[in-house]
Amino acid sequence: MAFAVAYVLFGSAGSPPAEAAGRVELVLTTDRHAPLTAQQAWARELGAAGVRNVRLRTAHASDKVGIETRGAKESPLYIVTGTLDSHGEVILPEGRYRQGEAKRIAHWLDELARLGPPETREPVVAFGLKHGEMLAVRDDLATPIGFSTKGLPRGEAARKILDGLRLPVELDPKLLPTDDADRVADELRGLSCGSGLACVLRPLGLVLVPRSTPSKGPIYRITPARGEKEVWPVGWKPEKSGPKIVPKMIDFFWLELPGVQASRALDAIVERLQIPVLIDHHALAHHKIDLEKAIVTIPRTRMTYASALDRVLFQAKVKSELRTDEADSPFLWITTIKPAK
C-alpha cells in the first residue's frame, strides 16, 4: 500500500503514550594502528548520517565495548563505547561495521535511544509488538460487534467495526468499497471485532495488521494481503479440545440426508450445536464451491455431531475448524480442504 496517500484516522482515544526517548553518546576508542584516514572518514560519515555526540579518542587498556546507562529513568543517557580497529572498522556492542555503513549505526543508535539496551527491553511477542502492546491490542479487538452485519454492504460493515475500536487505524479510504454490490453474508453480531473484521476484510483481499509505532504506540493498518507475512487471523486455535468447548459435539443422534443442499444440512446441525458459523467466502469462491449447489447424501446412521459435520462438509469439499475469537467465544470456521492462494 502506498503511504503517500492521505489516511483516515479512527479511534485515537485511549492510545498508550509513546515511550520517552533517551540520549545517546558514542565514544569510539581508536586502536593505535588504526589508519588516520579511517578516523577522518568515519567522522565525516557519521556526521552525514545524522549521528551527533560522537567522540574519538585513543584507546585505554581498561576500555571495553559496551553500553553504560546514566541519568534518571525518565531521561536516560546511554554512553556507547566502541572501537575503531586496525582495519578501519567500527566495533559496537551490536556488531561490526565497515566504512559506508554509518546509516546502519545511526539506525541502531536511534533504536537504542527509543527502546534502551536490548537486555532491558520488553520482549516482542508477535507483529513486532511488545507483550504489553499485544495485551492492549487483544483487549481492544475483543470488543463485541454490537450491530447486525448480515446483508450490510461490506465497506460499511468494515467502517462501523473500525469506529468501535480505541486504538488508531491507518487506512487508505480507497481500499474499502463504497457501493452496495458486495454485502456481508454472515451474521457477526456478538463476535469480537478482531475476528469479525478479519472475516469482513478477507473477501476484499485485505488484512488487519497491528504495528508498533514510536509516537502512537500500537496501531492497526488495513492493507492488501499480498506481501504480508503476519496478519490478524479470523479466530484462533483454542487451547482446549473441541468437546470441552462445545460438549454437544460428542453427543450421538440419528441422521439421514437423502440428497440435500450442503448449506441446509450445515444449518440444521449448527442450529442444534448453538454455535456461530463463519464461511470462508474468499476460499470457496477461489475453488468455485457453492454450498447451495453442493448436494450431500448420508444413509440413516447414528453418529456424533462432530462426525456429522465432517461427513457433510467433506462431500461439499470443505471442512470445519473450531476457533475462538479474542474474547474466547467459540465459532466454526468453514473453509476449503485445499487452501486458497
pLDDT of residue 186: 95
Could you tell me if 133 and 214 lie in one domain?
yes
Domain containing 281 — which CATH number? 3.55.50.60
Asked whether residue 213 falls in the same domain as residue 133, the answer is: yes
Tell me what pLDDT residue 15 has.
39
Is 235 a domain residue?
no
Same domain, 257 and 332: yes
CA-based torsion, 128, 130, 131, 134: positive or negative: negative
- Domain match, 216 and 260 both: no
Q: Distance between CA 286 and CA 131 in Å, rounded?
A: 36
Q: State how many domains the chain has.
A: 3
Q: Are 74 and 18 in contact (CB under 8 A)?
A: no
Residue with cell 441446509: 264
| 139 and 162 housed in the same domain | yes
Residue 339 DSSP one-character state: P
In a domain, 231, yes or no: no
Domain CATH for 213: 3.55.50
pLDDT of residue 85: 94
Q: Classify residue 120: in a domain, yes or no.
A: no
Query: What pLDDT does 120 receive?
Result: 84
Q: Provide the 10 A C-beta neighbour count for residue 290.
A: 12
In a shared domain, residues 111 and 133: no
192 & 268 share domain: no
Q: Domain for residue 59, yes or no?
A: yes
Q: Are residues 145 and 201 in the same domain?
A: yes
Q: Record the cell numbers describing residue 300, joined without a space.
A: 440413516
The reported pLDDT for the residue numbered 216 is: 84
Q: Do 106 and 24 touch, CB atoms closer than 8 A?
A: no
Domain range holding 253? 242-336
Q: Please check whether residue 234 lies inside any domain of the structure.
A: no
67: left (phi over 0), alpha (psi -120 to 50) or beta: beta
234 within 8 A of 278, measured Cβ to Cβ: yes
Pairing of strands 124-126, 129-130: antiparallel
Instruction: State the first-to-last Cα distance of the chain, in angstroms, to the nearest integer.
Output: 20
Q: Do 143 and 99 share a structural domain? A: no
Q: Are 130 and 220 part of one and the same domain?
A: yes
Residue 331 lies in a domain: yes
In a domain, 121, yes or no: no
Whether residues 42 and 104 fall in one domain: yes
Q: Which of 57, 80, 115 is the last residue of a domain?
A: 115
Question: For the chain, how many helices (H) and strands (E)?
Answer: 9, 17
> For the chain, which ranges sit under pLDDT 70?
1-20, 341
Domain boundary among 95, 115, 135: 115
247 and 192 within one domain? no
**Do residues 207 and 232 make contact, with C-beta atoms less than 8 angstroms apart?**
yes
pLDDT of residue 288: 96
Task: Name the domain boundary from 191, 224, 257.
Answer: 224
Q: How many residues does the chain have?
A: 341
